[in-house]
Amino acid sequence: MARRSAVRQLLLVTFGILVTLYAGLLGMRVLWPIDFQDIVRDEAVNRLLPPDLVGAVIYAESRYRPDAVSSRGAVGLMQLMPTTAISIAESLGDPPPTTSDLANTRMNVRYGTWYLASLLTRFGNLDEALAAYNAGPTAVDRWRETGSEPFSETEAFVKRVLSARSIYAFYFRYPWIPRITPAIRL
């Protein structure tokens, strides 16, 4: 009788721990959403970028909303400006994309990773490359030349990306976690 009670108590405790862990994972998905993991990983690897960095940029730019459009006209997961996307398409030998093309997840992430990789090559520094991704390379060149401070929005963007990287590293290290938890949007 005592043995049965101990087994029952162990099962209840185990169940409670599992429920608590699952609730924590659900909370992560609310605070740090992730979708399109295969596309993000594929395009990151194609550009020799860490998937967690690309995932964190997407989080900071659009919170994984493929239909996101900024007040300035940046489109999609990686918030590409149409003029930037046209320049990227030209470099890749693609036809110029339309704004609706940029809502295509695969194209948006492909172009965004190409752009991020080119900025990393150009600036050789992750913080400056992220600042250029947010504010444009001309702004970063100007800040470098004059010694002036980046826009506060740009500083906040860089911090948001860098702080989110560990979460996205966790997601990409354990890809089954997003698969067992539903995407919950706020």
User: Tokens standing for 142?
Assistant: 């100007």
d(CA 81, CA 141): 19
DSSP 101: G
Catalytic residue (choose from 43, 61, 153, 155): 61
Is the separation of the CB atoms in 119 and 129 below 8 Å? yes
User: Tokens standing for 90?
Assistant: 């030209």
Task: Give the CA distances from residue 96 to residues 84, 85, 101, 158, in Å, rounded to whole numbers and listed in that order.
Answer: 10, 8, 9, 29
Does the annotation count 61 as an active-site position? yes
Q: Which residues are catalytic?
A: 61
